[in-house]
Amino acid sequence: MVQETQTARRIMSGNRPTGRLHIGHLFGVLTQWVEFCRTSEAFFEVADLHALTTSFERTESIRRNTTELVLDWLAAGVDPQKCAIYVQSHIPEISELHLLLSMIVPVAWLQRVPTYKDQIAELGPEIATYGFLGYPLMQLCDIAIVRANTVPVGKDQLSHLEIGREIVRRFNHLYGATLVEPQPTLSEFPDVPGTDGRKMSKSYDNQIEIADDEPTTTQKVRSMVTDPLKIRRHDPGRPEICPVFALHKILNESRVPWIEENCRSGALGCVDCKAELAEKLNGFMRPVRERRASLDENAVGAILDAGAEKVRVIAKETLADVKSAMKLP
Amino acid sequence: MVQETQTARRIMSGNRPTGRLHIGHLFGVLTQWVEFCRTSEAFFEVADLHALTTSFERTESIRRNTTELVLDWLAAGVDPQKCAIYVQSHIPEISELHLLLSMIVPVAWLQRVPTYKDQIAELGPEIATYGFLGYPLMQLCDIAIVRANTVPVGKDQLSHLEIGREIVRRFNHLYGATLVEPQPTLSEFPDVPGTDGRKMSKSYDNQIEIADDEPTTTQKVRSMVTDPLKIRRHDPGRPEICPVFALHKILNESRVPWIEENCRSGALGCVDCKAELAEKLNGFMRPVRERRASLDENAVGAILDAGAEKVRVIAKETLADVKSAMKLP
């Protein structure tokens, strides 16, 4: 019999506190996080320092957004008893690690990250700060400080993590094996369209928020774009281009064949189709929203304090190991 | 009668722990530091994180150099009861401030510092790390974290401090008056030549160390270059190009007219002239060296601990003000 040595999976992930989350986050990331709480050691970070990289000129909403973000996580079922929920800036060891590791990271590595130039092109040259340039290093520090071995990433984040892994390898090469090299776990999430048919995103203002109430949700579903050639009820529709149909596929799987057939034939009109989706969505969201409504905002502070305390035990160990490996006084 | 409001002068300065100090440091910087201890609140930092910018690949000597550096300071008369002596990496708030301020510092400001490109040209491209690029920001954090209002600088350091002042102004403009804008106090030190006539510097290996004993000092003075045209005793000499004469001017002022006259006439030979200098220098150094020899190396740790404790009281306040001004959670 072969006995396998299993290393416990330690997951680290986070969101920037830039506003309330929407159902696109819920169907994708948060459902996975709830699963992580059951299967792994999990660390979920409110990345307030990351938020500063792009919004250092308007920081007044970070506090409120932090609370909203944590309420969304909890509403989705993320269990603070089974993971650590914490604010990045409450862990001084992240900043210390960041400064130490900055010494071994060539500027050229950071400059070659595709998103660096893309974002400057998109958001303007005033974004080209020293902090923004260091974004991938800061992400690595978030991961390395809790010694996470697994990081859920979308494809667009792979290059950031790859730099992080390079930094770890360089550190371990220079000072001896100290840091854990994190592995990506690629996440395949359903494409969740927003009300205008584009990817659901706050920046398109096409989102249905986790915190929306039922009338708001119904109203937003009613306003969704559909096949532009299906103008009247009996016109035949093309479900493959309809965002309402895309949401049925996520939320209403058993009814998909019937809806597809009757949309194509023209028997099903968009008004009825949307009404069914709104009802289904509100049904799905009801326990999440009830949980959110029942949460005490004032409890968020205590959850974050407990999370920071838990994280700092590990963070202090990691930092002490790093300083000792670097032979600092 | 006009009553003046006087703000206490708070000085911040430091050295990188790269080795023992030499008498050039003593006649210049350290004499001034001893004075600062009497006239100002003074903060003296062992800049170990700065040392990493250029020597991240060989860190094994930083600990030993830290001890030697502090022993040199104490030997010179810097009084730990009247200032704070501490290690940079023992103050986590410096790293936290560094990460926060990094968000408002354009990369272009850092790239335009003259020493950035000069040093890369001199030390090689492997020095071009993210940490090295951030050097002037790190210096500003050292100063700002203790709210120092005055920084002694040489002319070559003025551009670093000017960037620091720009960072402070930008922060105060964005988030309200929070940080103290430090003023430079330009230091005019005597030019101290090394044994080969060039500026005394460890990198030229022409230094007389504070910790050198008397025979070593005498031997080093004996080996000093002099006027190459004065070969025999009775040859006339040119004191204005002789490093031995330059040291007489610093250490042996009352005898300078006589030495000058008799060097020019040829009556004074270099052997005698050096013997007088060695005696004078050893006499001057005797109390410093006796103090250094009497110091208990093991006491350095306690001095650094006490210094860090003192600094962190202020550093925590500064950081809390900064986080509050930035409206972090």
Between 1.10.150.130, 1.10.240.10, 3.40.50.2300, 1.10.645.10, what CATH number should domain A212-292 receive? Answer: 1.10.240.10
Residues comprising chain A, all counted: 329
User: With 70 as the cut, is the pLDDT of residue A281 above it?
Assistant: yes
State the Cα–Cα distance between residues A96 and A291, nearest whole angstrom: 37
CATH of domain B10-192+296-325: 3.40.50.620
Strand (E) or helix (H) holding A160: helix A158-175
Confidence label for A255 from pLDDT (cuts 50, 70 and 90): very high
Between the alpha carbon of residue A48 and those of residues A19, A54, A156, A208, B274, the distances in Å are 12, 11, 21, 23, 64
Q: What pTM was estimated for this model as a whole?
A: 0.92
pLDDT value at A118 more than 90:
no
pLDDT reported for residue A4? 41
**A181-185 LR contacts (CB < 8 Å, sep 24+):** A181/A149, A182/A12, A182/A143, A182/A144, A182/A148, A182/A149, A182/A150, A182/A151, A183/A149, A183/A150, A183/A151, A184/A150, A184/A151, A184/A152, A184/A153, A184/A158, A185/A150, A185/A151, A185/A152, A185/A153
Residue to substitute from B55, B86, B95, interface A, most A β-carbons within 10 A = B95
Nearest to B56 among A17, A87, A104 (CB): A104
Q: Which amino acid, residue B300?
A: V
CB nearest A129 (choices: B90, B107, B328): B107
Residues of A whose CB is below 8 A from B105: 129-131
The predicted-structure confidence for B209-264, as pLDDT tens digits, reads as follows: 999 999 999 999 999 999 999 988 889 999 999 999 999 999 999 999 999 999 99
The reported pLDDT for the residue numbered A2 is 40
Q: Is the distance from CB of A168 to CB of A144 less than 8 angstroms? A: yes
Predicted pLDDT at B7: 63
Residues of chain A with CATH 3.40.50.620: 10-192+297-325
Q: Give the distance, in angstroms, between the CA of residue B111 and the centroid of all CA atoms in the same chain.
A: 24
pLDDT at A271: 95
CATH 3.40.30.10 given to domain A10-192+297-325:
no
CA distances from A83 to A8, A75, A169 (A): 14, 15, 27
Where exactly does CATH 1.10.240.10 map onto chain A?
212-292
Residue A158 has pLDDT above 90, yes or no: no
B17 φψ region: left (φ > 0), alpha (ψ -120 to 50), beta (else) = beta
pLDDT band at A55 (very low <50, low <70, confident <90, very high): confident
Q: How many CB pairs under 8 A join A and B?
A: 148
Q: How many CB atoms lie within 10 A of CB B288?
A: 19
CB contact under 8 A, B57 and A174: yes
Identify the band that residue B4 occupies on the pLDDT scale cut at 50, 70 and 90: very low
Is there a contact between B26 and B131 (Cβ–Cβ < 8 Å)?
no
CA distance B60 to B63: 7
Q: What one-character-per-residue DSSP string does A21-78 give?
A: -BHHHIIIIIHHHHHHHHHSEEEEEE-HHHHHHHHTT--TTHHHHHHHHHHHHHHHT-
Q: Residues spanned by CATH 3.40.50.620 within chain B?
A: 10-192+296-325
